[in-house]
A and B are shown apart, each in its own frame.
Chain A
Amino acid sequence: MRDFLSKTVTPIKPSGIRKFFDIVSEMEDAISLGVGEPDFDTPWHIRDEGIYSLEKGRTFYTSNSGLLPLRQEICNYMKRSQNLTYDPKHEVLVTVGGSEAIDIGLRAVLDPGDEVLIPQPSYVSYEPCTILAGGKPVIIDLKAEHDFRLTPQELEDAITEKTKVLILPFPNNPTGAIMEKEDLEAIIPVIEKHDLLVMSDEIYSELTYKGKHVSIASLPGMQERTLLINGFSKAYAMTGWRLGYVCGPQAILEQMTKIHQFAIMCAPTTSQYAAVEAMKNGDDDVAMMRQAYNERRRFLLHTFREMNLPCFEPYGAFYVFPCIKEFQMSSEEFATRLLREEKVAVVPGTAFGDSGEGFLRISYAYSLENLKLALGRIADFVERLRKEQGK
């Protein structure tokens, strides 16, 4: 028999998370801090709207781009949160999670050999999606000394004449880093000079703890060269509903819609009806969850500092990213031992790129009680390691 497998897909490594997941699922009584999704249930009024839509028999395809009322709500949200004006008919596409938008966005703009700048550590899909779209991923290693923000120099250094797209993954998973307005203003001249398209993944935009999130698309001259990706998963605790969206220039959206209509048809109808309710009446829920995350964030940061583990202050998402370089072992080794010896699961920084080496991603999408318990065990482990190593 022939080798049926694709020469493009076969070399792509499975997600580093998956490997760790397999070890964790063997252990029944492990406490996990490894989850990348909210611990809150979707607010009831949103779920209720989904149920209502099913009762009403709204079980058919929607238009390819998504329900018009939902696209309108998305535009209203962009207006009130970022003062950005998008046309709901031509500049918004509702997708199956933000992750579909990343995939089809790259496929719509890349030609073979085009380079895509991917700051890392970052979410696991940018690199494989770039490869699958025929592009060439170029990694920018973000630095702890810059609080894992992207600097103009780092950007400039990575650019070649083949560079087409910059992925901007902030607020960041796994580091919790954000790019503030000044940080964005600093890189814009470089982006304009080299005529780049920005794919801004702002899925955590509602979860920032130092002023309101600023989208790069809202800064002068940037809306026309930005694909702004967002979704409902993180803000409204709706991960399982699989619903995201992208706003951007009509010309690119048209091409993306083509791929979307052939590959996906439309995002889940029930989810779209629920999402309309989320955008109309969900602000209080978001505020409540943001406050809870912030309390846990302060607790974790305080506790890691008490342990004397270096940890920059993350102002976004729901992760802290402590440094474990003093123990002279790889992140994976540290995480594996922590799991075996203390039954606490965390994700090694390397699951999000080589530059995550020496760091751990700790999720605080857990109750404070849970976090206290887990952090107690981590503190014991760290103390034991230090003794072992004669510190």
Chain B
Amino acid sequence: MREELLSIIEKNSRIDVKELAVILGVTEIDVINELQKLEEEGIICGYHTMINWDKLDVEKVSALIEVRVTPQRGQGFDSIAERIYKYPEVHAVYLISGGFDLLVSLEGKTLKEVSFFVSDKLSTLDTVISTSTHFILKKYKDHGTILSKKNEDTREKVSP
């Protein structure tokens, strides 16, 4: 049940325990216990809400920043990654293969704020060799969800 439970709440974390029990064919106690275990084991790390900020008048700028760094002896990329991910405006940090080392996802209120973060905080770190900032112009799909499209049922209403 573990994987099925996770696949359901990954898409809908607000589903209640009673309903989860019904659709998984187990008792509510089972669901509660399993959720608790998953939280304790750090498999469930949070319950977030997916928001399309573009639909609000709130100014928000997102950017993906490619960062090349010099790995440090004995620590590899971990300590530099930590220095970067501790900034609250940093949404995600990935170590990746290819032409650069870290991919940093950043959210700021304004273009200026993001630029300032890159030039003042990120680039000045000793181990950072170079950065390349890509501003996100439009999000089509995020977290497996298509943002702009409405799902319409185009099937015939009754069929054999």
Taken residue by residue from 1 to 29, chain B's Cβ proximity to chain A (1 for < 8 Å, 0 otherwise) reads as: 00010011000000000010011110000
Which residue of A has the minimal Cβ distance to B15? Answer: A368
Complex CA gap A32/B153 in Å reads 10
> In the complex, which of the residues B4, B25, B156 contacts A35, with contact meaning CB atoms closer than 8 Å?
B156
In the complex the two chains form, is B23's CB within 8 Å of A351's CB? no
Pairwise interchain contact A299-B23, C-beta atoms closer than 8 A: yes
CA distance A20 to B157 in the complex (A): 10
CA distance in complex: A14, B157 (Å): 18
- CB proximity to B under 8 Å, residues A15-42: 15, 17, 20-21, 24-25, 30, 32, 34-37, 39
Q: What does the 1/0 interface line of B131-160 toward A look like (CB < 8 Å)?
A: 000000000000000000000010111111
* Cross-chain contact A35 with B157 (CB below 8 angstroms): yes
On whether the beta carbons of B22 and A34 are closer than 8 Å, the reply is no
B141 to chain A, nearest CB (A): 12
Establish whether residues A35 and B159, one from each chain, have CB atoms under 8 Å apart when the complex forms.
yes
Give the Cβ gap from B154 to chain A, nearest Cβ, in Å: 10
> Once the chains bind, are A34 and B159 in contact (CB under 8 Å)?
yes
In the complex, residue of chain B having the shortest beta-carbon distance to the beta carbon of A297:
B23
B-facing residues in A299-347 (Cβ within 8 Å): 299, 302, 345, 347
A24 touching B159, Cβ below 8 Å: no
- A291–B160 Cα distance when bound, in Å, is 23
Q: Does A298 have its Cβ within 8 Å of any Cβ on chain B? A: yes
Q: Establish whether residues B160 and A351, one from each chain, have CB atoms under 8 Å apart when the complex forms.
A: yes
Q: Out of A15, A295, A345, name the residue touching B157 (CB < 8 Å).
A: A345
Interface magnitude class on chain A: 20 to 34
How many Å from the CB of A335 to the closest CB on chain B? 10
Bitwise, B26-52 to A at CB < 8 A (1) or not (0) is 000000000000000000000000000
Residue pair B7, A291 in contact (C-beta under 8 Å): yes
Contact B159 A17 (CB under 8 A): yes
CA distance A18 to B19 in the complex (A): 35
Residues of A contacting B156 in the complex (Cβ-Cβ under 8 angstroms): 21, 35
Q: Is the CB of A17 within 8 A of B23?
A: no
Q: Which residue of chain A has its CB nearest to the CB of B159?
A: A36
Q: Report which residue of B23, B153, B157, B160 has the largest number of chain A beta carbons within 10 angstroms of its beta carbon.
A: B160
* Contact among A17, A173, A296, A299 with B158 in the assembled complex (CB-CB below 8 Å): A17
Task: Report chain B residues within 8 Å CB of A25.
Answer: 157
Is A124 engaged at the interface, CB distance under 8 Å to the other chain? yes
A34 touches B25 (CB 8 A): no
Closest to A38 in B: B155
Partner of A24, one of B8, B23, B24, B157: B157
- Any B CB within 8 A of the CB of A381: no
Query: With an 8 A cutoff between CB atoms, is A123 at the interface?
Result: yes
Tell whether, in the assembled complex, residue A291 and residue B22 are in contact, meaning their CB atoms are under 8 Å apart: no
Inter-chain contacts of B153 with A (CB < 8 A): 39
- A345, B8: Cα distance in complex, Å: 27
Question: What CA separation (Å) do A25 and B155 show in the bound complex?
Answer: 12
Judging by beta carbons under 8 Å apart, are B158 and A345 in contact?
A: yes
With a cutoff of 8 Å between Cβ atoms, the chain A residues found around residue B159 in the complex are 17, 21, 34-37
> How near does chain B come to A92, taking the closest CB pair, in angstroms?
26
Which among B4, B22, B24, B155 is the interface contact of A39 at CB below 8 angstroms? B155
Contact A36 B22 (CB under 8 A): no
On whether the beta carbons of B7 and A173 are closer than 8 Å, the reply is no
Interface residues as binary, A113-139 with B (CB distance below 8 Å gives 1, 0 otherwise): 000000000011100000000000000
**CB distance B24 to A298 under 8 Å?**
yes
**B160 contact from A30, A36, A296, A299, Cβ within 8 A:** A36
Closest Cβ–Cβ distance, residue A178 to chain B (whole Å): 17
CB distance from A161 to the nearest CB of B (A): 33
Q: A291-B4, A291-B7 are in contact. Are A296 and B23 (CB under 8 A)?
A: yes
CB-CB under 8 A from B19, the residues of chain A are: 299
* Distance, CA A7 to CA B75, complexed state (A): 87
A302 and B22 contact, Cβ closer than 8 Å, known pairs A39-B153, A291-B4, A291-B7: yes
Q: Which residues of A contact B8 (CB under 8 A)?
A: 295
Q: Is the CB of B157 within 8 A of A34?
A: yes
CB atoms of A34 and B158 under 8 A apart: yes
A44 to B160, CA, bound (A): 25
Question: What CA separation (Å) do A291 and B23 show in the bound complex?
Answer: 10
CA gap between A238 and B24 in the complex, in Å: 27
- State whether B157 touches A298 (Cβ < 8 A): no
* List of B residues within 8 angstroms of A124 by Cβ: 160
Q: How long is the Cα–Cα vector from A30 to B155 in the complex, in angstroms?
A: 13
Q: Can you list 26 contacts pairing A with B, beta carbon distance less than 8 Å? A: A15-B160, A17-B159, A17-B160, A21-B156, A21-B157, A24-B158, A25-B157, A32-B158, A34-B158, A34-B159, A35-B158, A35-B159, A37-B155, A37-B159, A39-B155, A123-B160, A124-B160, A173-B160, A291-B4, A291-B7, A295-B24, A296-B23, A298-B22, A298-B25, A299-B22, A368-B23
The 4 closest A-B pairs by CB, nearest first: A34-B158, A295-B23, A21-B158, A32-B157
Apart from A39-B153, A291-B4, A298-B24, 8 more pairs, CB < 8 Å = A24-B157, A34-B159, A35-B159, A36-B159, A125-B160, A302-B22, A347-B158, A351-B160
